[in-house]
Amino acid sequence: MTSRLQNKYALITGGFAGIGLETAKQFCLEGACVAITGRSEAGLERAQSYLGENLGKNAVTIQSDAADIQQQQALADKIKTQFPRLDVIYINAGDVTHKPFNEWEEADFDRVMNTNLKGPFFLIRALLPLLSDSASVILCGSVSAQIGLPQSSVYAASKAGLISLARTLSGELKHLGIRVNTLSPGPTLTEAFDKFGLPENEQEALINQVKELVPLKRLGTPLELAKAAVFLASDESSYMLGSELLIDGGVGNL
């Protein structure tokens, strides 16, 4: 067992499934103590059971809604009772809603922006006193911010905001030793495809359609993203500041 994150304390928002859960597993395997959040109590219970069964240890789980601004300070207060400090924050929770431009309602717009941009902004601010003097903050961007994918307008805009935030916060917090970088996935095979509520054959057709957008002609895996997150969380990335790491099969560059 390796120990690239030995003695580090990490928070992963949206860590009960998909990329977040796999990242929590990899962080634990690398020696970190990990807290994960999510809205679903049942989802958090399954995640805690999974991590315990696979690693012989339990991660800390905290129920929290990333879109509820008031809950961000409450989450910070809870973390203070669990960990002596935070060495890593991985802002992974996100709303991936896609709609045609003329079908967006204000409430839907606000929910995506609150989850993907406003919530993370105020959570990082609330957690600032807990961050160590070599802390790594990882923001989950998206290759969608780099391309003009139809129906991704609000989602892509929210992620573009996060990518910009990584740069501006890096400039503002670098004197504290805090690094802020963005990890931007391309199309990845997770439970997110289940949220469309499509019959199995239509979901498979959708996945195949998405694959055609990727130069490598396949979807990414949660493990591939998790390994990149380990790198950004570890001291191996100590010379990265305000950067964006694209793990996207070439979507953003080819």
250 has pLDDT over 70: yes
Q: Which amino acid is at 114?
A: N
Contact yes or no for 251/187 (Cβ under 8 A): yes
> Is 155 known to be catalytic?
yes
Find, among 67, 242, 252, the residue nearest to 164 by Cα. 242
Choosing from 9, 50, 90, 155, which is the catalytic residue? 155
Find, among 64, 165, 167, the residue nearest to 117 by Cα. 165
243 has pLDDT over 90: yes
Contact yes or no for 49/75 (Cβ under 8 A): no
CATH placement of domain 9-185+221-245: 3.40.50.720
Would you report the helix, strand and coil content of the chain in percent, each value rounded to 5? 50, 15, 30
pLDDT class of 46 with cuts at 50, 70, 90: very high
Q: How far apart are CA 251 and CA 254, in angstroms?
A: 6
Residue ranges of domains in the chain: 9-185+221-245, 192-219
pTM for the predicted model, two decimal places: 0.95
Per-residue pLDDT reduced to its tens digit, 187-227: 999 877 776 677 888 888 888 988 998 999 999 999 999 99
Q: How far apart are CA 163 and CA 62, in angstroms?
A: 26
